[in-house]
Each structure stands twice: as C-alpha cells, then as structure tokens.
Structure 1
Amino acid sequence: MLGGVFGALVLLRVITGETAITSSATVGTTLALGIPIGMAALGGLWAERAGVVNIGLEGMMIFGTWGAAFGAHFSGNPWMGLLMGIVMGALGGLLHSVATVTFGVDHIVSGVALNILAPGAARYLSTLFFVDERGGGATQSPALPQFPTLSVPGIGDPLGDLEQHHWFLISDLAGLVRGLTTDLSALTVIAIALIPLTWFVLWRTAFGLRVRSCGENPYAAESLGVRVYTMKYIAVIISGALAGIGGVFLAMVGSAQYQEGQTGGRGFIGLAAMIFGNWRPGGLALGTGLFGYTDALQQRGATGAVHALLLVVAVLLFAYAVWALLPGRRRVYHAVFALVAGVALLAWYLTTDELPKEIVTYSPHITTLLVLSLASQRLRMPAADGLIYRRGEGH
C-alpha cells in the first residue's frame, strides 16, 4: 500500500513538474509536523483500546509542552524536559482515569473538562515560574536547550546530488531516504520507534491482551481474573504520557520555547488520525502522515503541489466510486456522490493554475475530513469503548 502511494506521488511529480511533492525537505517537514499528531493518536489508541474515550488529549499535550519547558529550562538538559513533559502528560492521564474509571464520570465530559483546565493551569504555572526569567512570561518560556540531531553518516550529500537530477523514481527515492535519515532530532527517532513498540506490546504480549480485553468486554475480562480497573488506569496514564511527548516535541523540536496555544488543536487531529487508522498503530501512522504531508506542502509554500493534490483526490474519488459499485456492495448513492465530486475536482484542476490562499492554508484539515468520511465505512471501534464499567455489574 505504501509503495502504491509513493508511486502515485512520483507520477504526480512527473506530470505536474512540482519537485516539492517528493523532495527530502518535504519528507523532513512531514515528519516534524506529523510527530506531535502521531503521539496524540498513539495516546488515544492506548486509552480507547482499554475502553476509555480520551477527548482530553489536547489538554494532556498542553501539560506536556509546559512540563518540557519547566524541566529543560531549570535543568539546562533537554532530556529532563522530555522527562517532565512525560510526567505532566501522565498526570493529565491520571486525572482523566480517576474521573472516568473510579468515579464513573462520562468520558466526553471528563475530557472536555481537562481541555478547559489545562490552558488555565499552564498560564498560572507560567506566571509563577517564567515571568521573572529572561525571555519568559505568562504566555511563554525562555529559550530551551535542544535535542541532538542524528543522521546516517556518508549518505546525505550523495543522495542530495541524486535528488537534484529529478530522474524518474531514482531521484524520488533519494529524496525519500534523505528526508528520513538526515538531521533528525533524537526525539523524532524515539517517537517513530514508539509506534511499532505499541503494536508489539498491545498485540503480542499478555499484558496487551489484557488491556485490549478491557476495551472489548471488561466483564468477561473480569471473570477471567483481569484487574480491569488497574489495566484501565495504566492504559490511560500511558495515553497521557504519549500525548505529553507530543507536547515536548512542539516545545523543543518544532519550536525553541514553550508558547501558549502551541498545540493548536493537534490533540483533536490526533484523535481523528486514530479513528482513520481504525484503532491500530499502522493505520494511525498513515493518517498522521497524510495530515503531516499536506501541512508540509502548504507550510513550505508549495502552492503548486497543493493544487496538484486536486488531481490525486479526484482519482481517489473515482476509485471509490468503482469500489462502491462492486457486487456485494451496491452503494449507488455513495458512488454517484463520489463520481460527481471527482468530476468537479478534476474540472477545477484542469481550469486553474493555483488554489486560493485560504484553501491552501486549510488543505490539511480539508484532506483529513475527506479521507475520514471515505474511511468511515470500514471502521470498528473497541466494543466497550466509552462504557462506564463497575466491577460485578455484568454478572
């Protein structure tokens, strides 16, 4: 599947002449923009696989951004910033688990309350600790130390030369590999590694099986001796810690300091990426990459490349229309809608040279909503997700 997506992008680059579509700079920016969303999505996955809806990811990320600033500034060590960001995010997860697991508060209400609490708490703490610091204030921290960067030695320059030739496929592969192996923050490498690690723990260990059983049928899990309350607490605290890592990335890799409002709704986008990924690590990685890629194109000013995405979306809509008419599905209304929308987008692409600035700016959000709407037909959430569990009531 990934090979097919990359092949489509290569063909798009050749057809349109927009080199930014597969450039190493775009790949690197995609990683930088996608990591915070991916960590929020991974956090949502842990919580919801245990049966707890986590709308509070945004608030946990805010705690992570502030914790990163506090730990890194007062210690002078970026790794202490990472530790404090994880701790603050985990505390957000603990608050959510106390409310939902112990006291049975509606999961949505608890998450919204956490999202309201976090900005106010961060402002208060910033006023206490950053106002008298040079460069700090009630809405921002002083400049923070940075994580070291990592590169695979000896391949950056040769791959850069290959990329500049713009040869079919060879230069595109060079751009992809160079973007994935050059000047990566150490935190980026850690965050990427957490995705397969989560898959292994949740789907290949006894502990992961217990966590997932709590999200599918907690009363059956209880009857088999699983400590459901404990599993839910652990999963939601891990969820907060992962969202906190996303916050650390925003404060210390995506920027050089903590700033109020830094998360910018990425916790909610992470939740959407998790749903798009059907509550699985590989799927949420694809959803995160989709948003990060479209955001990277618009942030790098590649308006022509964003315009070219109209062609990609039109082709996807045509393919969906064909799929909807296959024997056994016969979703005629879906097919008609997709066909009409595809024709409209194709006509838009052929009759224009660029998109309005407003559409370019919001292209990541528009793309995410479109893909979510198309993917919604195959989604299956954990059966007991959002269920208020009480020990013994299922018997």
Structure 2
Amino acid sequence: MTRVSKYHVALIGVAALILLMSLVRFVTGQDDLTSSGTFAAALMLAVPIGLAGLGGLWAERAGVVNIGLEGMMVLGTWFAGWAGYQWGPVAALLAGLLGGALGGLIHAIATVSFGVDHIISGVAINLLGPGVTRFLSEVLYKNGTPAADAGAGITGSPAISGHPWTPSLPVLSDGPDVFGWLESTRWFLVADLAGILRGLTHNVNILVVLAVLLLPLTFYVLWHTSFGLRLRSAGENPWAAESLGVNVYRIKYIAVVISGAFAGLGGVFLVFVSNKYVEGQTQGRGFIGLAAMIFGNWRPGGLAAGASLFGYAEALKLRDSGSGTIVSFFLFGAVLLLGYLVLRVRRMLASDQPAEVVTRGTKDYTLMAVAAAGVVVLFWLWLTVEELPGELVFVTPHVLTLLVLLVASQRLRMPKADGVSYRRGEQH
C-alpha cells in the first residue's frame, strides 16, 4: 500500500468515525458526544499528552526508552511557575523547556554514557522530579521569602506575572459564529460536524496551534532530513550507523535532551492553563503520553490519534453531568467493535493463503471471539443501564480506551534497537 493510499484510508476512517458518532448522538440524544464544548475540552486535554508523547517519540526513535517523561514534565511545570511569577510568561516558557531538557540530560548521561538500564533510569527520573521540585519549593517558597509574600506555598508557586501568553487567533476565534448556529440546529451530521469544527477552532490560542504544528515538523525532521535519518538509524541499528560515520552518542544525547524539552513544554502548557505551578498538576500525563506514543506505533500521526483518543475520553468524563453520555458511549463502543469484527472476518475469508490462516488461526479466532463478546456486553449494557454510579462514570472512558488500544496493538513495531545498551565498537 503506497503512502498516498494510506492517507486516503486514514481520511476515510476519520469520516466513518464522525458518521458513527453522529449516528449514536442522533439515536441516543446525548448531544455532548459531539458538542463543541466536549471537543474544546478534548483539545486542551490532548495537548500536554501529545507533547509528552512527542518527547517519547524523539528519544525512542534514537533507541533510548524514556519512561521518565512524567518526571521531566514535573520539572517543566516547577521551573515554568518559578520563572513565570518573577519575569512573566516568556520566561516561564523558556524555563519550562530548560527544566524538562535538564531531566532529559540526566537520563541521557545515565543511559548513553554510563549504560544504566533505560527503565531503571526512567523510574529514577520519575522519582527525582517530584522530590527535587518539593525540595525547591520548601527552600524558595517558605514563610518570609518574597515568593511566600506573593502567594506561594510549599505546594504551589505565585501566579504568573502578567497574563500567560495565550492570545486567541483572530481568524479562527473571531467573526460570526456560524458553527455555533449550525450546532444548535441538532441536524444529523451537519450539527455534529459544526460542533467538532467549532470546538477545534473557537477561542483557540497560539500555544495550542504551535503544539499541533510540532507534529508535522517532527515528521519532516525525522523522515525527510539527513539528521532525522541518522537519528532513526541510531534507533534501528546503531552499529551500522557507526560504521557509516554517524556519531551515535551525540545523536542519542540530542534526541533525549529534545525529548525532555518537549515533556517540559507540556508542563508549561499546564502551568499556563492554571496560571501557576501546582504540585501534582501533571496527574500522570507523562505516562499517558508514553501510552499514546506506543498506540501511535512510534509515528507522529498515530501519536496525534492516541493523544486525541485519551483527551476525548477525559473530556467526555468531565462533561458528563448525569452519566447518560457515558451510557450512550456503550453503543458507540459496540458498533466500533462490530465494525472491527466484520473487517477481520472479511480479511480471513478473502485470504488466499490457507497455510497462513492455519498458522495464525488461534490468535485470529481469539481476537474475534473477544470482539464478539465485547459487542454483546456493550450493547446489553446500553439497553439495560439507565445511569451509572459515579465511580463507574470515572473509569468507563478509560476502559473503552484500553479496548481500542488492545485492538490497535496488533500491528505495533518499535525501533529494533530501542532500549539496547550501545557501546562503540561492540557489535551485538
């Protein structure tokens, strides 16, 4: 399948997904499924996840596993809050980038120079980030300091001086609210498209647009430049890259430091949203970003889809007032699994290689059986459940997200040398 046809398939898949969401919304009457408010919230929730995942993508494409994204993100939030209250939002942006890059540098020194196991180093960064930031808060924000007088505490910085640099885009956010009017009509598909477009374009700030633009920029740098080719070769076969004159150590260092900077930028975004640093405000988004990156098969487009999925699930949970939207999501999941089951059956019936079918039959039949059971259970829940307890409302979107991840995980391919300890001249 050519690259162009893959893009066409992706567009068809997005169109089919929107059509399915519109159908479920029309049948169930749950407008929040495709409302502009839901998609605006999903966009804001997906951006820090996507930035963290983008950091993981840079590191792992160079062959360094980075599960320390959460710790690097925490460092980005603290340094952004510390610099922001003193010198304003631009200083917060730069300090957050440097804070995350510092975490990436520590990870690079441990894994690239000293050969520490990548997982152990990442866990250490995740422990180090919150510990260091708590220590710095206790030293710099204690009673009697200027920061404490400005409203700081051990668990939070003062507010950023001056409004965070997040102005709305004039073209997308101003002018007649045509999308809002179309959304209010509740027409099938038309209102849903209007709600989605309004949520993704109304009151959008520049930082969100910059974060989105980093995805195609990463794709261009990693897949269409000589530097990107050297970086990816370090993640696939560093000894072959070494034989061609590539400085693998330097490439890995650059990639991991950039990885930390992107995670720190995700922390800056969180600080700008709340206008200050608050302890624990990352809430595991670094780990979710890593999951989104894996879901996206270590590619920017797939990463964007994974971050959007997690952001939408979280937004749906936040906007669900009486759990009716979550119940309607059972129908959405049932139809989605049914479509997956139909595609699997068609592919199996169309196969002209019986031997391959026999070899892979057990796995295929198991997946099909699980999908069929999921269709029955989700459809039954939609028919019988009227309202969910609050605890289940909290966890249901994540369960459905995990189901989608389970389906998508069948075609994952990580870089071949990802996590491999590299030493110059030592062929493995």
What's 1:148 paired with? 166
Tell me which amino acid in the other structure corresponds to 2:295.
F
Alpha-carbon deviations, 1:87-126, whole Å to 9, x = none?
A: 0000000000000000000000000000001101001111
Contact 2:173–2:203 (Cα < 8 Å) also in 1:
no
**Aligned residue pair count:** 393
> What are the within-5 Å matches in structure 2 for residues 108-257 of structure 1?
108-131=119-142, 132=145, 133=147, 134-144=150-160, 145-151=163-169, 152=172, 154-155=174-175, 157-253=177-273, 255-257=274-276
Return 381-390 or 356-365, whichever deviates more: 356-365
Contact 2:40–2:200 (Cα < 8 Å) also in 1:
yes
Tell me which amino acid in the other structure corresponds to 1:270.
G
Structure 2, unmatched stretches of 5+, are 1-12, 352-356
2:78 equivalent to 1:66 = yes
> What are the within-5 Å matches in structure 2 for residues 1-395 of structure 1?
1-75=13-87, 77-131=88-142, 132=145, 133=147, 134-144=150-160, 145-151=163-169, 152=172, 154-155=174-175, 157-253=177-273, 255-302=274-321, 303-325=323-345, 326=348, 327=351, 328=357, 330=361, 331-394=364-427
Contact 1:53–1:108 (Cα < 8 Å) also in 2:
yes
Contact 2:320–2:326 (Cα < 8 Å) also in 1:
no
Question: Structure 2: how far apart are the matches of 1:4 and 1:79?
Answer: 41
Question: Structure 2: how far apart are the matches of 1:203 and 1:58?
Answer: 26
Tell me which amino acid in the other structure corresponds to 1:143.
A
1:356 shift after superposition: 2.3
Contact 2:45–2:311 (Cα < 8 Å) also in 1:
yes
Question: Structure 1: how far apart are the matches of 2:30 and 2:320?
Answer: 12
TM-score, with structure 1 as normaliser: 0.96
Contact 1:294–1:306 (Cα < 8 Å) also in 2:
no
Q: CA RMSD in A?
A: 1.5
Contact 2:157–2:278 (Cα < 8 Å) also in 1:
yes
1:153 shift after superposition: 5.1
Contact 1:88–1:241 (Cα < 8 Å) also in 2:
yes
Alpha-carbon deviations, 1:153-209, whole Å to 9, x = none?
A: 544522212211112222222222211222123211111111111111111111111
Tell me which amino acid in the other structure corresponds to 2:377.
A
TM-score, with structure 2 as normaliser: 0.89
Contact 1:160–1:178 (Cα < 8 Å) also in 2:
yes
Structure 1, unmatched stretches of 5+, are none
1:322 shift after superposition: 3.3
Question: Structure 1: how far apart are the matches of 2:228 and 2:208?
Answer: 24
In 2 relative to 1, CA 22–252 (structure 1 residues): closer, same or farther, beyond 3 Å? same
Alpha-carbon deviations, 1:123-150, whole Å to 9, x = none?
A: 1111222333222111111122322331
Question: Structure 2: how far apart are the matches of 1:153 and 1:351?
Answer: 42
Higher-Rg structure is: 2
Tell me which amino acid in the other structure corresponds to 1:293.
Y
Contact 2:64–2:118 (Cα < 8 Å) also in 1:
yes
1:321 shift after superposition: 2.9
Alpha-carbon deviations, 1:292-326, whole Å to 9, x = none?
A: 00110111125222211111211222233334442
Contact 1:324–1:332 (Cα < 8 Å) also in 2:
no
Alpha-carbon deviations, 1:353-381, whole Å to 9, x = none?
A: 22221121123432332222211211000
Return 267-276 or 164-173, whichever deviates more: 164-173
User: 1:176 is paired with a residue of what secondary structure?
Assistant: helix
Question: Structure 2: how far apart are the matches of 1:188 and 1:153?
Answer: 13
Return 355-364 or 233-242, whichever deviates more: 355-364
Alpha-carbon deviations, 1:40-98, whole Å to 9, x = none?
A: 111000000000000100000000100110121110x2121111100000000000000
Return 382-391 or 311-320, whichever deviates more: 311-320
Tell me which amino acid in the other structure corresponds to 1:261.
G
Question: Structure 1: how far apart are the matches of 2:168 and 2:379?
Answer: 42
Contact 2:231–2:255 (Cα < 8 Å) also in 1:
yes
Contact 2:316–2:326 (Cα < 8 Å) also in 1:
yes
Tell me which amino acid in the other structure corresponds to 1:184.
V
Question: Structure 1: how far apart are the matches of 2:275 and 2:386?
Answer: 36
